Each structure stands twice: as C-alpha cells, then as structure tokens.
C-alpha cells in the first residue's frame, strides 16, 4: 500500500536531514547487530532483543513482513522516494523531521532501518530493564496511585507533544507503553507506530489500532477524531490498570460511571473525564495536562 505524502497530507514535504540512512542488505545487518530473545509477536511479525556489536548498546529489532509494510511518498530538496510509513511517523513523533518540531524524549528512539527483499527491520533503542505495562501487570506488578500518576503525567505530556508534531498514534494501550527506571525514577517510552497517521482536522473513517480499545464514536457515528480518541485511549489504559473486570463497551455506555474506593477522587474523575461517551465533551489533551490529578 502506498500513501501519497505529497498530495493527500497536510504539509508538502519533510526535512529528512536527521533521518537514518536506510540499508538494503542483510549482510550489513548481521555485521552490525546480534539478535537474542523474542520480545513480542504480532500480525506484523516479531520484535527481538539484541545488541549493536560496535558498543554492545541494547536494541530492539522489529521484523515486519514486506506484505505488511506501508510506504509513503516523501519529497525533500527536489528528491522524491518511497519511505516506510512507520519510520516517518516514529521519527516525526519524536520531533526529528519537520522544522519547528519539538523533541519528544518519551518516544522510542529510532536507530537504523533495513528495507530488505522479504522484510523491513526497524532498529530501536531498548532502555535497560524496560518492559511494557501489559507484561508487567501479567507478572503481578501493581502500581500505586502515585506511581500511576508519574506514568500518566509523562504519557499525557508525550502525546501532547506528539500531536503538536503532527502525529496521531492511534494505538495507545498497555502493550505499547514501556516502563523502566531512569535515575531511580519511573520513565516511559511509547512504541509501535505501525497504526499511526497524521493529525488532521477532518475525521478518520478507516479504523487502525486495536478494536477493543476503539472509542464509542467509531461504532455509533462510524468516524473518529485524533484528539478525542487519544484521550479515550488514555482513560482506558488507566481504567484497565485497576479494574478486575473485562471491559465491554455496551455495558460501559449503559452502566454507572466506574469508581474505585482505593483511588482518590481526582484519579476517579480523571478516568471518567477521559471516558466521556460524547467525544465533544471529552477534555482536550491540554486540559488533561491541567487536571488536578496530574498537577
């Protein structure tokens, strides 16, 4: 699939001075990196742990079957070529491509790209000890409200920057948030930009992401917008962190608002504000930054 980056998107080009050079040989990859264990699998392929051999820097290596790869046409300085869409989204979410973009340290770092005959390899940073929230919860890790507040403040700040940089992640969930200790403090990295798109004023009608986490307007109105959807996803993530019950949208829409006695009123309000059924009444991302629970 090829998206036309020049005609259909909201800006006419992209400055690619800082984008990594794409390699085309598996031999070059084997000379530079070594792979170890499987970190995760999905419909796209797999993610492996590994190291860069020159300095033993830990990396994550994402293998994407060539049949699952989307490309977009990029224009820069009179040149035009097809680039892996996920690479562009990831780099721009981190503020690396457009002039005037803001650096976003909570987006996983892009190191190398190998566009091979049968697959694409995306080499990313791998913070020491990092693990996604889903795996941590499955291992019995419980987050206190204070710890959750630390994580979600970083998450909200990160998606605000991401949207300012023009990128709509579309798949914010526990599997795509890495948590690790940095200088004895909880830190996050947002991963997996395979479902991403550019932020735009018009609605999205074709869904990409995880259907179980889709906002109600997708089913009720057959369309959704970037900011209200991201706010909904943040609320779902926090709800799932503490709820023992499996989420069912139909039951949620008809039922009472969730309330956890062991959480503060501010935290409960944050969850319910994010999970407002009417997308027009959901708070903006900027409003979430100013919510009493995070301030």
Which residues are catalytic, by number?
171
Q: Does 249 carry a binding-site annotation? A: no
Distance CA 128, CA 60 (A): 11
**In this structure, which long-range contacts are made by residues 283-292, counting pairs with CB atoms below 8 Å and at least 24 apart in sequence?**
283/231, 284/227, 284/231, 285/156, 285/159, 285/160, 285/163, 285/227, 285/230, 285/231, 286/160, 288/156, 288/231, 288/234, 289/156, 289/157, 289/160, 291/266, 292/266
Q: Does 70 carry a binding-site annotation? A: no
Largest CA distance in the chain: 60
Region of residue 184 (left: phi > 0; alpha: psi -120 to 50; beta: else): left
Q: Does 62 carry a binding-site annotation? A: yes
Q: Does 43 carry a binding-site annotation? A: yes
Q: Does 209 carry a binding-site annotation? A: no
Q: Does 128 carry a binding-site annotation? A: no
CB 237 within 8 A of CB 229: no
Distance CA 121, CA 99 (A): 27
Q: Does 183 carry a binding-site annotation? A: no
Q: Does 153 carry a binding-site annotation? A: no
Q: Does 86 carry a binding-site annotation? A: no
Q: Does 41 carry a binding-site annotation? A: yes
Which positions make up the binding site for ATP? 39-47, 62, 125, 132
Which positions make up the binding site? 39-47, 62, 125, 132
């Amino acid at each position: 699939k090829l998206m036309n980056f020049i005609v259909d998107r909201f800006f006419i080009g992209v400055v690619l001075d800082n984008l990594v050079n794409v390699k085309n040989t598996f031999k070059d990859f084997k000379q530079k990196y070594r792979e170890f264990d499987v970190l995760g699998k999905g419909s796209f392929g797999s993610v492996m742990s590994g190291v860069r051999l020159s300095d033993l820097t830990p990396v994550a290596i994402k293998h994407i079957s060539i049949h699952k790869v989307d490309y977009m046409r990029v224009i820069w300085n009179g040149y035009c070529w097809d680039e892996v869409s996920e690479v562009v989204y990831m780099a721009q979410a981190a503020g690396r491509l457009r002039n005037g973009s803001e650096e976003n340290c909570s987006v996983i770092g892009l190191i190398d790209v190998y566009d091979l005959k049968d697959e694409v390899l995306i080499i990313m940073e791998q913070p020491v000890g990092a693990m996604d929230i889903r795996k941590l919860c499955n291992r019995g890790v419980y987050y206190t409200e204070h710890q959750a507040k630390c994580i979600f403040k970083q998450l909200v700040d990160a998606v605000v920057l991401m949207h300012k940089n023009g990128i709509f992640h579309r798949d914010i969930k526990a599997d795509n948030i890495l948590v690790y200790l940095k200088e004895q403090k909880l830190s996050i990295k947002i991963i997996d930009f395979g479902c991403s798109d550019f932020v735009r004023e018009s609605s999205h009608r074709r869904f990409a992401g995880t259907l179980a986490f889709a906002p109600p307007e997708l089913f009720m109105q057959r369309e959704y917008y970037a900011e209200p959807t991201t706010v909904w996803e943040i609320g779902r993530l926090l709800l799932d962190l503490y709820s023992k019950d499996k989420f069912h949208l139909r039951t949620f829409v008809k039922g009472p608002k969730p309330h956890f006695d062991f959480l503060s009123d501010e935290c409960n309000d944050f969850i319910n504000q994010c999970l407002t059924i009417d997308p027009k009444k959901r708070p903006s991302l900027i409003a979430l930054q100013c919510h009493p629970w995070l301030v």
